[in-house]
Amino acid sequence: MSKYDVAVIGSGPGGYVAAIRCAQLGMKTAIIEKYDVLGGTCLNVGCIPSKALLDSSHHYEDALKHFEDHGIEIPGDIKLNFKKMIERKAAVVDQTTKGIAFLMDKNKIDVFTGMGAFKDATHIEITNGEKTETIEATNTIIATGSKPASLPFIKLDKDRILTSTEALSLKEVPKHLVVIGGGVIGLELGQVYNRLGSEVSVVEYMDRIIPTMDSAQSKELMKVMKKQGVKFYVSHKVSAVSKKGKEVTVTATDKNDKEVTFKGDYCLVSVGRKPYTEGLKAENAGVKITERGMIDVNDHLQTNIKNIYAIGDVVRGAMLAHKASEEGVLVAEIIAGQKPHIDYNLIPGVVYTWPEVASVGKTEEQLKDAKIEYKSGQFPMRALGRSRASGDTDGFVKILSDKKTDEVLGVHMVGARVADLIAEAVTAMEFRASAEDIARMSHAHPTYAEAVKEAALAATDDRALHI
């Protein structure tokens, strides 16, 4: 029987990064993945394919609607080859997952393909079809991720009533896509199909979209996406979803208890994700699972069994790839006897719609609830030369800082490339910068980043220069 210092179950951004860090730290490491390809949700049916389709559909929309503004004329009709777009997405995924296989090889990590299940706290049985083998591991990291959640009355047929996984590989562009849930995944995929010509209706239970983000971001994104043609129905509680032939009917009640129906040819159910532990047989190792199906962990991401850890979507916290990866590194370093730390307040959240939405730290709502006195500085993208040059004038940067100390407490952005811009805010907050520190830093001109400096100036003393 093969023996390892560490076995990692699951090869998503949590698991594969944990395995690399363990190997870097000199531990004999194995990774177990039930699918033939490595990379988990993120690389196969999450972050990477959704971004590939967002980029492709953005080019298409630009060609259709914006090239002319730039003096670019295309003779003849612009045609969409949807099959090719999906094939390109698959090729991007393929290239990326092969990269993970290369990294496993480079770091001398043994890859086992098959379902990993605990026999006890130090033995894992791996089953692949008829073949079964058992390995011994001094430490195990559970990184089994998550699956799409649904509502109890919805029957996901995965043909017309879809999760994000199927929505990333459709054979045709929907005529009318009804999206249940105005969170990150619903909005990103809704925007993809809106650009490709679908009518898109987003039905959201809460009174605003992206409800966990700053409400100014919800408002701005909804305003811009409405302009782009997406229809929004907030404060609508979906009560039934049915399918007849090619028609899907979504029934909801609005805030006045009035019944509303939406008829489409496809329905995307994007109401969140749930932790995945099926088939893991955690009970054989004595590992505790919470009522909500998560693996229960302490601050060191250690389960109730001391040599078993868990990371990523299967434990509490934001379901984000970079959060999973940070946790993978943390656990590897803890096993190696180091004392690493993650500041969960500084894990940025991003929506890759266009305009993009990005946030770090506390929202205005959270500061109000916690009764923390703060100052707010906001700068609109439309006042930037860079935004006018590219034609991306929607959005803003908002900086919230402590009223007394000026320490930056939260940064919230909507606009072009803010998914990348948010890194400046994370760096500043990691070093506990004040708004004035950012305001005094030189920002290259012309860049979108100038909005960060200007918002910091506005927060410092209401002295933005260009508005």
Ligand X SMILES: Cc1cc2nc3c(=O)[nH]c(=O)nc-3n(C[C@H](O)[C@H](O)[C@H](O)COP(=O)(O)OP(=O)(O)OC[C@H]3O[C@@H](n4cnc5c(N)ncnc54)[C@H](O)[C@@H]3O)c2cc1C
What is the rounded CA–CA span in Å between residue 109 and residue 23?
7
Q: Which is nearer to ligand X, 195 or 453 (CB)?
A: 195
Using the minimum distance from each CB to ligand X, give the nearer residue, 328 or 410: 328
Q: Cis bond leading into 348, ω under 30°?
A: no
For ligand X, the closer CB: 126 or 384: 126
Q: Which is nearer to ligand X, 137 or 319 (CB)?
A: 319
Task: Tell me which H or E stretch contains 438.
Answer: helix 435-439
Q: In the complex, what is the shortest distance from the CB of residue 373 to ligand X, in angstroms, rounded to a whole number?
A: 32
For the chain, what is the radius of gyration of the CA atoms?
Answer: 24
Minimum distance from residue 221 beta carbon to ligand X (Å)? 15
Least distance from ligand X to the Cβ atom of residue 13, Å: 5
CB of 236 to ligand X, least distance (A): 22
| Largest Cα–Cα separation, the chain | 70
Burial-class residue 361 by CB neighbours within 10 Å (0-12, 13-18, 19+).
buried
User: Which residues, in sequence order, are CB contacts of 65 under 8 Å at separation 6+?
Assistant: none
* Cβ pair 203, 180 in contact under 8 A: yes
Measured from the CB of residue 315, what is the shortest distance to ligand X in angstroms?
8
Return d(Cα 106, Cα 68) in angstroms, integer: 48
Which is the catalytic residue, given 59, 70, 445, 466?
445
Examine the residue annotation and report whether 322 is marked as an active-site residue of this protein: no
- Between 261 and 298, CB nearer to ligand X: 298
Q: How many other CB atoms are found less than 10 A from the CB of residue 79?
A: 7
Backbone region of residue 197 per phi and psi (left: phi > 0; alpha: psi in -120 to 50; beta: other values):
left
Q: Where are the alpha helices (DSSP H) in 26-176?
A: 40-45, 47-61, 82-106, 164-167
Interface residues with ligand X (CB under 6 A) are: 9-15, 32-35, 40-42, 45-47, 50, 115-116, 143-146, 164, 185, 276, 279-280, 312-313, 319-322, 324, 352
Residue 302: CB minimum distance to ligand X, A: 16
- Sorted by sequence, the CB contacts under 8 Å of residue 260 that are 6+ apart come out as 233, 236, 251, 252, 253, 254
Please identify, using beta-carbon distances, which residue of 324 and 428 lies nearer to ligand X.
324
> Which sequence positions are flagged as catalytic?
445
